[in-house]
A and B are shown apart, each in its own frame.
Chain A
Amino acid sequence: MLKPLSSDRWDYTKAAHLLNRAGFGGPPEEIQKLADLGPDKAVAYLLDYEKIPDPTPNPDWAQPNPDEIKKLREVQRTGTPEEKKMAQREQQQLFQRRMLELRGWWLKRMATGPRPLQEKLVLFWHGHFATSVEKVRNPYYMWRQNELFRRLATGNWQQLLTEAGKDPAMLVWLDQAQSKKDHPNENFAREVMELFALGEGHYTEKDIGQAARALTGWSLEPNEQKFIFRPRIHDDGDKTFLGRTGNFDGDDVIQIIVAQPQAARFITAKLWNYFAGQMPSEDLNTDLAAALRANDNNFKPFLREMFRSEKFYSDAVIRNQVKSPVQWLVGSVRVLESELPPPLVSWGMLRQLGQDLFAPPNVKGWDGGVTWITTNTLLSRYNDAQSLVEGTLPPLAAGDFAKKAGGGKGQKAMKAMQRIRMGGVKVDKILLPDEKADKGTIVAALEHRLFQTSLSGDQEQTLREFLNSKTKMTDADILTAIRLMMSTPDYQVT
């Protein structure tokens, strides 16, 4: 049993913690709102997000486009080598533009959308099913998978695993679309057990081979760009899988996997790690798994128990999670009440910080935790903080931008760079006139906003001394102080 946090222990700090973890944090007024609601309603506000309309329109290319594909095929079949090359380049540039748009579209949903927990879960499932456009090479598929995670973010474990397996991006990513009866491809069969649902040591190599046989026939219809079952390449012989024997197909495989007690342990440990910032103890994992199973493998009631649990608010959990680059970027924009940098710049920052959305490093996704922090990424965070606060371009080489701008070089890239406008932070938006009047209250108000706690006495003094050294303190000096606060180890955790 997960013991709930008693309501009388609910306070501003815990409300801030909930918003930081079940969302991307926010300014003091948002935290205060959750603090006033009490724990049940605060959790419900974030979790029952279906009640809040989300009017975000989809990208206009976010639909199957058979004509586009037919045209391309036609060129590949009948075109001259020149035409083929041209068509390929055009398509590549189109894909790059769309991916850029998609990344901006998603980040905006996280930063300003009305359903922060839904987006936080989409980010979890993206990291969990870790599919990369680098192999899938199709923005529509990437968008479609992202929407699948959004639709089933708090849904049922078996349904999610099945649909994720039949999702076009996944069918390409783990080669399932190419797996045939006489040569079953083991890639998806292996990863669905090792990385998605059970973890290493809970199946044998033989189970993988058997699952791969059962999964044959799961394929992709390239014109309509959707899942299709092809009976002719499906192996319909008997398989023995995880101790059961029968003429299993792919759906059976998923069902048998999710029925393993380990499947609940595995996914709840990962969810706890994602939201609480550390792997659960064996005992806690047992309680978490029991909670999911008691709710028929539905995530929503499970998450409600988790976000209400006493353990989620323990001292070891609060302010002890390394912010992922996305948490860092989106969270910064939210607490500073500023704007996201344009997609090109956001993308550049996140790549440099080690979290390129839609392009995780491998099938296992991002390792997370302290592995986000290296000497390199830490300095980058400190420097990107300057860009966010002061509204200047981040220190990315021009060539890097050129590549991202879609293959342009030289002048064209420089022009594209000059067009980029960064928002920056408006001091008057985050400091009241009377807060701004005194250097001591400036530091205190900013600490409250950025950390929801105090820095060490020495750090506070350093910041006060910095402001005191300015004979005529300007807004620019306050912005530098904010940047300095973000250039601390403390700001990298939440």
Chain B
Amino acid sequence: MKNEITLQTRREFLRRTVLGSSLAWTVPAFLANTFSVLQAEAADSAIQTATGKDASILVVLQMAGGNDGINTVVPYANDFYHKARPKIGLKAEEVLKINGDIGLHGAMKGFKELYDAGQLSVIQGVGYPNPNRSHFRSTEIWQTASDSNRVEKNGWIGRYFDNACPGADPTIGVTIGSQLPQAFFASKPKGIVFNNPQNYRFMANGAGTEESYKKLNELEMSSAQPDDNSGGSIGMLPAGMPMTGGKAVDFISRTALDAQQSSDEIRSIAAKVQNTAVYPPSQLGGSLKMVAKLIGGGLPTRIYYVSQGGYDTHTNQLGSQQRLLGDLAESVKAFTDDMKAQGNMGRVVVMTFSEFGRRVSENANGGTDHGAAAPMFIVGNKVKAGLLGQYPSLAPGDLYQGDVKYNVDFRSVYASVLENWLKTKSAPILGKQFTPLPVV
């Protein structure tokens, strides 16, 4: 049974690879055979390569700036906690209690509802060895899934695409925003970025303008040879480390073609699909609203990426974190409501992350400085709901330079999502085998 499904999806995958989805049924058998040999390795590396209406979907939600995990999943009954945070510590009546020790921040009502419905897992104390307190370096570590002493160029999502989705449609990955996150950087970059579907097109007036635009941008591609396996494509380059080789124009040419291909599809879905849930009027709310539309419209996307900024709360943290976590919980709750209404809740998992948590002790400005381990949230029908991992000890003797120590390596969460949800081997993507945390 299982084998049959794999074969079926593989055949479909090969067709897509060769000529793109719209021509899939016209692929002559001999061509399919030829390519099946060429692509055998790629196909084997992908246990499940289906894209389309039935495949599982991962929504990655970045909480940028370093969210204070201790005031998010709050150890409200812990004396060390209140001692370290006389001003910003949350009291028992200010949290949404999960048990006698721990509660969610009071603004996260939406998350509490998901928790009570068995659709939220809270992974406690997630981090990595030798934590780095720089926003950029730590973000890079989370985005590339590298060890903290090793600098990687490509992102973990990019490596997933490289390993498991060769030849896929450009919309295999969708970022709502204007910049591509490093997680998507790949040796053969995939994925599109947009923020406003109305403007996501080439606006032409006058006869022949659009045709000429297409020709001018397609001609470039023939020289750039985007799908040449032998290299020469410059790939994405890490943030802040601009190109050291290859031609910038080749990269732009490839992006131009992806833009052309995806523009019609995105706009027609955005115009057609309606949301049923009400989202907060925030950037995150708007982004998740758009993701819900695209899922409802049947885009063959496996990974969506949205982000919410502002968590760098060095000063007067209480108000800003209240607002941010409220927005987060409301937006995600609205999204899950939409997914339920569409009948797609079973296909979707939302995973949050932040580059680090914050120092256990508050600072003199009613805020907290950069820290280390923090919780992650995973939302979905098939997640292992509840509290996972162990709450890190806040006892002063257990801290490292004032920070909590991690109990769960974030890459074991990625491994679980990759293997159990996206159904692909995680070791080639994460560089080594991490034991998947049983979360999905």
Chain A residues, CB < 8 A from B193 = 374-377
Which of A77-85, A97-105, A363-371 is the contact stretch?
A363-371
B434 within 8 A of A: no
**Count of CB-CB pairs between chains A and B under 8 Å:** 196
Chain B residues, CB < 8 A from A309 = none
Which of A54-62, A106-114, A178-186 is the contact stretch?
A178-186
Asked, given contacts A371-B239, A378-B259, A379-B201, whether A493 binds B213 with beta carbons under 8 Å apart, the answer is no
* Interface pair A462/B212, CB less than 8 Å apart: yes
Chain A residues, CB < 8 A from B80 = none
Asked, given contacts A484-B216, A489-B252, whether A279 binds B196 with beta carbons under 8 Å apart, the answer is no
> Scoring A residues 159 to 189 as 1 if CB is less than 8 Å from chain B, else 0, what string do you get?
0000000000000000100101011011100
B249 within 8 A of A: yes
CB proximity to B under 8 Å, residues A439-481: 456, 458-459, 462-463, 465-466, 469, 476-477, 480
- CB-based nearest B residue for A181: B364
* Interface pair A374/B135, CB less than 8 Å apart: no
* Interface pair B213/A322, CB less than 8 Å apart: no
* Interface pair B133/A375, CB less than 8 Å apart: no
Query: Contacting A364 at CB < 8 Å: which of B135, B170, B192, B363?
Result: B135
* Interface pair B217/A183, CB less than 8 Å apart: no
CB proximity to A under 8 Å, residues B114-169: 132-137
Query: Contacting B213 at CB < 8 Å: which of A175, A194, A382, A465?
Result: A382
A424 within 8 A of B: no
* Interface pair B203/A383, CB less than 8 Å apart: yes
* Interface pair B217/A488, CB less than 8 Å apart: yes
Asked, given contacts A187-B314, A487-B202, whether A377 binds B178 with beta carbons under 8 Å apart, the answer is yes
A238 within 8 A of B: no
Chain B: interface residue total (CB-CB under 8 A): 66
* Interface pair B219/A397, CB less than 8 Å apart: no
* Interface pair B203/A375, CB less than 8 Å apart: no
CA distance A371 to B243 in the complex (A): 10
* Interface pair B217/A489, CB less than 8 Å apart: yes
Chain A residues, CB < 8 A from B205 = 386, 480
Tell me the minimal C-beta distance from B210 to chain A in angstroms: 10
CA distance A141 to B60 in the complex (A): 37
* Interface pair A370/B369, CB less than 8 Å apart: no
CA distance A363 to B249 in the complex (A): 28
- CB-based nearest A residue for B259: A375
* Interface pair A370/B248, CB less than 8 Å apart: yes
* Interface pair B202/A373, CB less than 8 Å apart: no
Chain B residues, CB < 8 A from A396 = 199
- CB-based nearest A residue for B64: A362
B99 within 8 A of A: no
CA distance A375 to B253 in the complex (A): 10
- CB-based nearest A residue for B234: A370
* Interface pair B249/A378, CB less than 8 Å apart: no
> Scoring B residues 61 to 84 as 1 if CB is less than 8 Å from chain A, else 0, what string do you get?
000100000000000000000000
Chain B residues, CB < 8 A from A252 = none
Query: Contacting B259 at CB < 8 Å: which of A175, A194, A321, A379?
Result: A379
Chain A: interface residue total (CB-CB under 8 A): 68
* Interface pair B314/A462, CB less than 8 Å apart: no
* Interface pair B219/A493, CB less than 8 Å apart: no
* Interface pair B365/A175, CB less than 8 Å apart: yes
* Interface pair A487/B217, CB less than 8 Å apart: yes
* Interface pair A489/B220, CB less than 8 Å apart: yes
Chain B residues, CB < 8 A from A363 = 135
* Interface pair A397/B198, CB less than 8 Å apart: yes
CA distance A478 to B241 in the complex (A): 39
Query: Contacting A459 at CB < 8 Å: which of B136, B192, B216, B314?
Result: B216
A278 within 8 A of B: yes
Chain B residues, CB < 8 A from A480 = 205-206, 209
B180 within 8 A of A: yes
> Scoring B residues 199 to 237 as 1 if CB is less than 8 Å from chain A, else 0, what string do you get?
111110111110011011101100100000000001011
- CB-based nearest A residue for B219: A458
A205 within 8 A of B: yes
* Interface pair B206/A477, CB less than 8 Å apart: yes
> Scoring A residues 313 to 337 as 1 if CB is less than 8 Å from chain B, else 0, what string do you get?
0001001111000000000000000
* Interface pair A370/B249, CB less than 8 Å apart: no
* Interface pair A374/B179, CB less than 8 Å apart: yes
* Interface pair A322/B252, CB less than 8 Å apart: yes
* Interface pair B216/A277, CB less than 8 Å apart: no
* Interface pair A462/B215, CB less than 8 Å apart: yes
CA distance A492 to B198 in the complex (A): 23
* Interface pair A383/B253, CB less than 8 Å apart: no
CA distance A187 to B65 in the complex (A): 13
A200 within 8 A of B: yes
Chain A residues, CB < 8 A from B178 = 352-354, 374, 376-377
CB proximity to B under 8 Å, residues A378-413: 378-380, 382-383, 386, 395-397
> Scoring B residues 313 to 354 as 1 if CB is less than 8 Å from chain A, else 0, what string do you get?
011000000000000000000000000000000000000000
* Interface pair A364/B248, CB less than 8 Å apart: no
Tell me the minimal C-beta distance from A356 to chain B in angstroms: 10
CB proximity to B under 8 Å, residues A340-367: 352-354, 361-364, 367
* Interface pair A277/B365, CB less than 8 Å apart: no
Chain A residues, CB < 8 A from B220 = 456, 459, 488-490
CA distance A231 to B243 in the complex (A): 46
Query: Contacting B135 at CB < 8 Å: which of A182, A362, A395?
Result: A362
CA distance A361 to B220 in the complex (A): 32
Tell me the minimal C-beta distance from A493 to chain B in angstroms: 5
Chain A residues, CB < 8 A from B199 = 352, 379-380, 383, 395-397
A273 within 8 A of B: yes
Asked, given contacts A205-B133, A375-B259, whether A185 binds B208 with beta carbons under 8 Å apart, the answer is no
Chain B residues, CB < 8 A from A490 = 220, 249
Asked, given contacts A369-B237, A373-B251, A375-B258, whether A178 binds B315 with beta carbons under 8 Å apart, the answer is yes
CA distance A259 to B243 in the complex (A): 29
A115 within 8 A of B: no
Query: Contacting A205 at CB < 8 Å: which of B209, B219, B259, B401?
Result: B401
* Interface pair B216/A175, CB less than 8 Å apart: no
Tell me the minimal C-beta distance from B213 to chain A in angstroms: 5
Chain B residues, CB < 8 A from A386 = 203, 205
- CB-based nearest A residue for B236: A370
Query: Contacting A183 at CB < 8 Å: which of B137, B175, B196, B364?
Result: B364
A239 within 8 A of B: no
A190 within 8 A of B: yes
CA distance A465 to B209 in the complex (A): 11
Query: Contacting A320 at CB < 8 Å: which of B134, B200, B247?
Result: B247
CA distance A178 to B363 in the complex (A): 10
B100 within 8 A of A: no
Chain B residues, CB < 8 A from A477 = 206
Asked, given contacts A175-B315, A364-B135, whether A466 binds B239 with beta carbons under 8 Å apart, the answer is no
* Interface pair A493/B363, CB less than 8 Å apart: no
CA distance A466 to B208 in the complex (A): 7
B242 within 8 A of A: yes
Most B-side CB within 10 Å, residue of A183, A374, A456, A459: A374
> Which 6 pairs between the two chains have the least Cβ-Cβ distance?
A369-B242, A183-B364, A374-B193, A489-B252, A375-B259, A367-B239
Pull 29 A–B residue pairs with CB atoms less than 8 Å apart, ordered by A.
A175-B365, A182-B364, A183-B363, A185-B365, A353-B178, A368-B242, A369-B237, A370-B237, A371-B237, A371-B239, A371-B242, A374-B193, A375-B262, A376-B193, A378-B256, A379-B201, A383-B203, A395-B203, A396-B199, A456-B219, A456-B223, A458-B215, A462-B216, A462-B219, A469-B208, A480-B209, A484-B209, A489-B220, A492-B249
Q: 19 other contacts beyond A362-B136, A379-B259, A397-B199, with CB at 8 A cut-off?
A: A200-B137, A279-B242, A352-B199, A362-B135, A367-B239, A369-B242, A370-B234, A370-B248, A375-B192, A375-B193, A376-B259, A379-B199, A379-B263, A386-B205, A458-B215, A462-B219, A480-B206, A489-B252, A489-B253
Q: Which residues of B contact A (CB under 8 A)?
A: 64, 132-137, 170, 175, 178-180, 192-196, 198-203, 205-209, 212-213, 215-217, 219-220, 223, 234, 236-237, 239-245, 247-249, 251-253, 255-256, 258-259, 262-263, 314-315, 363-365, 369-370, 401
